[in-house]
Amino acid sequence: MPVFDKKDKSRYETFTRRTVAAGGGMTAIFAVLAGRLYQLQIRDGDEYMTQAEDNRVSERLLAPPRGRILDRFGVELANNKRNYRVLLVAEQARGGVRQALDTIGEVISLSETQKKRVLQTIAQNKKLVPVPVAENLSWEEFSRINLHLPYLPGVQPDVGETRAYPFQSELSHVLGYVAAVSPEDKKSEDDQLLDIPGYRIGKRGIEKQLDSDVRGEAGNARVEVNAFGRVIRELGHDPGQPGKDVWLTIDRDLQRFTAERLGQESAACVVTDITTGDVLALASTPGFDPNEFNTGISLDLWKTLTENDHKPLLNKALSGTYPPGSTFKPIVALAAVDAGIATPDYRVHCSGKITFGGHDFHCWRKEGHGSLDLKGGIKNSCDVFFYETARRVGIDKIETAARKMGLGAPTGIEMPGEKSGLVPSRAWKQKTYKATWQQGDTLNVGIGQGYVTVTPLQLAQEVTRIASGKAVSPRLVHMVGGNVMHRETAPPLDFSEEAFAQLRAGMIATTNEPGGSAYPWRITEPGFEMAGKTGTAQVRVFTREEHQRGITKNENLDWKMRDHALFIGFAPIENPKYAIVCVIEHGATVAHVQVQMARDILLYAQKRDPLAMPTAYPVKAAENTTNKKGG
């Protein structure tokens, strides 16, 4: 047994205490580590496993392909194309979102407006939701983003789809456009698609009217990503439900010709099938490019569109309201025959004006037309004839006839924004102005002036009913998905065939007999002749002094003060197939440009044989595939 002196014993005891202390410390450390490992692996293992899986796996909501919009022959009017874009996940952006945007801006061009928009979108969404930074990139820009991706934390390159309108302004008012979802949109409906940043919904036209049908149902994708957010592989994919295809009654080629013929006039034109009411062309000029709203319209372009006095954003065919002028005279003629006033021997003498209640009501022809029957009154568009006839018929019967012909109420066409126009009555004036209806009011209504207003689409309905004798209404949508839109058979109108026969005879004489107000611009080819009625609508009341000074002529006035020019017609006269309305704002001239436009369009429509075209209106809509032609 070793012998220790006191000094050695003290050293031994010190060493022992240190060893015990060190051992105890190590034991405590290991105990803490063991406890922590137990917490991580056993107690909270499932939670941390889920968090790790969430970091590795990203689940994304997918927008389904939007349904296509096609014309009656299967031509794609609105479809989808590839959209190379850049997304940003705010939660993964190192140094903050602003710095991330500045870094992205060094790779591709980003304006301050774009950056502000991204910041606003991120503020409205969860930080883990990918937000579009730039869309519709070129392949070169998209490639640069992918090349610099390791240095762009939180950035996700993506290939999606965007709406495309191949015919641009030609169909802008029919189709409308899609644009980003607004906060008000999210409040008005509950659809998870609206929560996808950058998602677009229909804002005008058919895109808005049938948005719920062409939108589809959301899908989702589960992808594995690395630390930089780059997609490694796709773990699962549900494409959702594609939107339904929509088949319109529009004939795209006739629409093109109509738009070209109107040019840059502030105008509207509607062409319908007389038998069915199908709208074959619905043009409002000038138009706009709906693609600009999809990709994000600039402030300068928006200002240009809103400040243009030709109102390119207004669908004049549905939402433009105008005094009908002489295109209202057929309504008075029907009411007069129906009331037994315009008998075969009924005549009115026109001396150039009529005096009533101390006021002179002038005819457009200062020297007058002499003695006229109903056919002559329509053919010459004699104002005095219809002043006197309206006075005898009375406003009550005129109002009734106008409403039977579809005026004073929306036509019910499948588009938003349609105006109702106005057919005045005694009760309306009393309610609106607290005043009694006067005979002078009736005289003004008799020539389509005064309080009465119409839309071009309502006039199209009027002339379709004149030509058919039935209560035909316009329609624009033939089929949604595989479902053909049902419509009732149009019943006969409550007018005698004699009334329609006299009216049609007057309209045929207007365009085909010498002296008719549209005779110089008639269709001369046999078998294609048209019948019609011209119209000139004043936009203001001229004083006696202005009449005497001769400044009522359009060429002496500023554009906004000139009369509107209107024409309604149908063709061919033997077996009517097509009806047309053409309205040119402030376009009344001695050359009757609106009649020339209508003549050319009607002739084109008649010579375009639908039977020679590809099969129209399939029994079942084609399957929705991006950029796939319909049958």
Q: Give catalytic residue positions.
A: 326
Separation of alpha carbons 426 and 200, rounded Å:
47
Q: Are 313 and 417 in contact (CB under 8 A)?
A: no
Amino acid symbol at 230: R
Using CA atoms in the order 225, 230, 232, 236, what is the torsion angle rounded to 10 degrees?
60
Q: Which of 614, 529, 62, 578 is nearest to 272 (CA)?
A: 578
Angle at the Cα of 270 (from 513 to 509), degrees rounded to 5? 10
Query: In a 3-state reduction of DSSP, which class is residue 40?
Result: helix
Q: Buried (b) or exposed (e) across 14-48, using 16+ Cβ within 10 A?
A: eeeeeeeeeeeeeeeeeeeeeeeeeeeeeeeeeee
Angle at the Cα of 477 (from 472 to 480), degrees rounded to 5? 140
Question: Helix 329-338 crosses helix 383-393 at what angle (to 10 degrees)?
Answer: 40
Q: Which of 382, 427, 397, 369 is nearest to 534 (CA)?
A: 382
Separation of alpha carbons 195 and 186, rounded Å:
8
Q: Buried (b) or exposed (e) across 155-178, using 16+ Cβ within 10 A?
A: bbbbebbbbbbebebbbbbbbbbb
The helix (H) or strand (E) run that includes residue 38 is helix 6-38
Cβ burial, residue 184 (10 Å; 0-12/13-18/19+): exposed
Q: Are 478 and 346 in contact (CB under 8 A)?
A: no
Residue 326 in tokens:
């002489």
Output the DSSP codes for 476-530.
Answer: -EEEETTEEPP-PPPPBPSS-HHHHHHHHHHHHHHHHSTT-TTGGG---STT---
Residue 209 in tokens:
């009217």
Separation of alpha carbons 533 and 595, rounded Å:
9
Separation of alpha carbons 6 and 11, rounded Å:
9
- In sign, the C-alpha dihedral spanning 214, 481, 206, 611 is positive
Distance of CA 453 to the CA centre of its chain: 23
Separation of alpha carbons 196 and 534, rounded Å:
52
